[in-house]
Structure 1
C-alpha cells in the first residue's frame, strides 16, 4: 500500500489486525540487518537483528503477552499499555506489575526520564501518559547499554508522540549561549609594544584612540564556542577513537564514567571555592546560571525622570539680581588672589593614581564619545598607564 511507504526507509516486516497492527522500518543505508526472528507471542513482537544488537518492536493491546527471551545485547521498545509508578503512573495495574517483574528477572533497564514529556497526550483528558517504553539489557560490567531517548512534539493526526532512541555511545555536547568572550592578553601585549612610539600629548589623543581600536580589532576575538563537551581531555579523545574502532561497550562505559568523575570533581572545586565575603559577583552569577537565584524585583520609583528634568529646568531659569552677580564675581576674584601659586593639584599624575582610578571603573559599560570601551583602558599595561598619566598631567 502507498500509505506504508516512508521515503528513505524500507518496510522489513509487519503484523496486521482488524483493530491494531505494527510495522518495522529500517534505513536504506543499513546493511547488516538480519531478517525477522520468529517469535511465539501471538504476533505481539517483531524481532530483528542489526549487527550484534537484537531489537524487539513490542505492542501489547489488552493482555500482557509473553515477551521473547533477551539475547544480549537487546533493546525492547513499543507501546506496552501498562501502568506502573516506575514510569510515571500514579497507580499500578496488573500488566504493569507483570512488566516490572519481567524486567527484574530478565535484568532489563527501563529508559525513563520524568523530566521529559509523556509519549501519549490524551485529547479527552488533556494529560500526558507514558505507555510507550524502552528497555535495554545490561552490559558486561553491570551497567545498561549506552542508550538515550528524546520525546518529540505532537505528531499530526495521532495522540502518540514520536520518540527518538539513540543506541550506542553518545558524548554529551553542550550548546553555549552566544556571549562574546574576549582574550585581552594579546591586546595588552600589542599596546605595550606600540605605545612607546606615540608621544603623550593632547594632540595625539585621537591617534591614541585609533591605536586602541585597531589593536582591539586585530587581537581580541569576539567569538565563542558554539558546541563543546565539558571536561573533555586527551584521554577522552583516545577512548572515543578506541570505542569507534572496536565497538566495545565497555570502552564506551569507561569514557562516560571518566567524564562524569571529572565533572563531579570540577563541581566540587567550584562549590568549595565559592566565597561571598570578598566578592559575591562570581557566586551570584553562578547561581543565576543554575537558575537558583530569585528574580530581581523592580520597583517603580515615586520620582520620575520627567519630574527631575522639570525641576532642573525651573532652577535654571531663576533670575539673579545684579547685586547677587556682583557679589559672586567679587568673591571669585578674592579667592583667586588668595590661592597659592603651587599646590598638590599642580603635581604630575602618577601611575598609582591611574591604577586606582581604572580599578574603580566598572567594566562592561557602553562606549563614550571617543568610542573606547572601559575594558580597553582597564586592560592596559604599565606603559599604557604611564602614557595616560602623562596625558592627564599635560591636559590639567
Structure 2
C-alpha cells in the first residue's frame, strides 16, 4: 500500500489489524540485518538483529492482558521499544495498572534499563484530555559492567494526524555536546583601556545626556568595548573533556568495546561532579559576585527582568500619602517652607568629582546590572563620559 511508504526507508515487515498495527523500516545502507521474526502468536512483537544488537519492535493492543514474563529475554544486547499501553509510576503515570506492574517486574528480573526522562514531553498527547502520557517506551539491556547499553532518547513535536509524537532513539556512544549561549566573555586583563577611553571621549559628545538616551549610552559602551577588549565564547564544547577522554573515544571507535564507553561516560560524570562541587563551594557573593551571577545565569536561575511600565505614578502615590496624612500644617511650618532658599546644596548639579568619588569607592569584579554594563567599563570612562553621567543624574534628579 502507498500509505506504508516512507521516503529513504525500506519496509521489511508489517502487521495489520482493523484498529491498530505496526511496521518495521530500515535504511537501505544498513548492513548485517537478519530477517524479521514474529515473537508472539498475535504477531505484535517482531525481532530483527542488526549486527550484535537485537531490536524488538513491540506493540501491546489496548485491553489485552499480558502474561508473566511480559516479554521474552534476549541473549544479545537488546533494545525493546514500541507502544506498550501500560501505566506505571516509573514512567510518569500517577498510578499503576496490572499490565504496567508486569512490565516493570519483567524489566527488574531481566535486568533491563528503562529509558525515561521526566524532563522531556510525553510521547502521546491526548486531544480529548489535553494532557501528555507515556505509553511509548524503550528498554535496553545492561552491559557487563552493570551499566545500561549506551542509548539516548529525544521526543519530537506532535506528528500530523496522530496523537503520538515521534521519538528518536540513538543507540551507541553519544558524547554530550553543549551549545553555549552567544554571551561574550570579556578578557578585561588584556583590554586596551587607553583606546577605550579615547573612543568614548570622541563618541560621547554627540549624545545628549537625557534619560531617554541611556539605552544609546549603553550600546555605545558595548560597541567600543567590543573593539578594544578581547571577548568571545565557545559555540560547541563537551564539558570536562580531557586527553584521557579523547584516548578512550579513539579506542571505542577502533574496537567497539562497550566497556570502553562505560569507562568514558563514568570519567566524564565524575569530572563533572567534581567541577560542580568546586563551583558550589567557591560561590561567594562577598568577594566576587560577578562569578556567582555568571554561574546562576548558566544554570538558568537568573532570568532577565521583565520591564513593565507601572500603572501608578510617583505623583499619585505622594498625593495619596499627603491626603491620608494626619499631620496638620501649622503657620510656623508654612512660614518655614516659604522662607527656604530656592537653591541649596541639595539642588546643585552633580559634578565630575562626585562621579569620580563614587566610582573609586566601588570595588572591581562586581556583576553587571540589568543593562549589562560591567563596572570596569564605567571605571575607565573618559572625562567627557563622566561629565555625561553627572549630567544624566542631574536630569533624573
Are the structure 2 counterparts of residues 132 and 217 from structure 1 closer, same or farther at C-alpha, using a change threshold of 3 Å? closer
- What is the alpha-carbon root mean square deviation over aligned residues? 4.4
| 2:276 paired residue among 260, 267, 274 | 267
**Do 1:60 and 1:81's aligned partners in 2 also have CA atoms closer than 8 Å?**
yes
> What is the CA distance between 1:17 and its match in structure 2?
2.1
Partner of 2:100: 96
> What is the CA distance between 1:41 and its match in structure 2?
4.0
Q: How does 1:230-269 map to 2 (within 5 A)?
A: 230-269=239-278
Q: Does 1:165 align with 2:169?
A: yes
Partner of 2:87: 83
**Do 2:364 and 2:375's aligned partners in 1 also have CA atoms closer than 8 Å?**
no
Q: What is the TM-score when the length of structure 1 is the normalising length?
A: 0.69
> What is the CA distance between 1:185 and its match in structure 2?
4.7
**Do 2:154 and 2:168's aligned partners in 1 also have CA atoms closer than 8 Å?**
yes
**Do 2:245 and 2:264's aligned partners in 1 also have CA atoms closer than 8 Å?**
yes
Distance (whole Å) between structure 1 residues aligned to residue 290 and residue 183 of structure 2? 18
> What is the CA distance between 1:39 and its match in structure 2?
2.3
> What is the CA distance between 1:259 and its match in structure 2?
0.8
> What is the CA distance between 1:261 and its match in structure 2?
0.7
Q: Does 1:52 align with 2:35?
A: no
> What is the CA distance between 1:218 and its match in structure 2?
7.6
Q: Does 1:140 align with 2:144?
A: yes
**Do 1:41 and 1:68's aligned partners in 2 also have CA atoms closer than 8 Å?**
no
The runs of 5 or more residues in structure 2 that have no matched partner are: 203-221, 316-356, 382-397
Range moving further from structure 2, 116-125 or 278-287: 278-287
Q: What is the TM-score when the length of structure 2 is the normalising length?
A: 0.69
Distance (whole Å) between structure 1 residues aligned to residue 130 and residue 378 of structure 2? 59
Query: 2:279 is paired with a residue of what secondary structure?
Result: helix
| 1:127 paired residue among 124, 131, 136 | 131
Partner of 2:65: 63
Give 1 or 2 for the bigger CA radius of gyration: 1
**Do 1:358 and 1:377's aligned partners in 2 also have CA atoms closer than 8 Å?**
no
Partner of 1:23: 23
Are the structure 2 counterparts of residues 216 and 289 from structure 1 closer, same or farther at C-alpha, using a change threshold of 3 Å? closer
Query: Aligned pairs, how many?
Result: 329
Q: Does 1:226 align with 2:235?
A: yes
Partner of 2:37: 37
Partner of 2:13: 13
Distance (whole Å) between structure 1 residues aligned to residue 114 and residue 362 of structure 2? 58
The runs of 5 or more residues in structure 1 that have no matched partner are: 195-201, 207-212, 305-352, 366-372, 381-396
> What is the CA distance between 1:138 and its match in structure 2?
0.4
**Do 1:186 and 1:219's aligned partners in 2 also have CA atoms closer than 8 Å?**
no
**Do 2:289 and 2:365's aligned partners in 1 also have CA atoms closer than 8 Å?**
no
Distance (whole Å) between structure 2 residues aligned to residue 363 and residue 84 of structure 1? 46
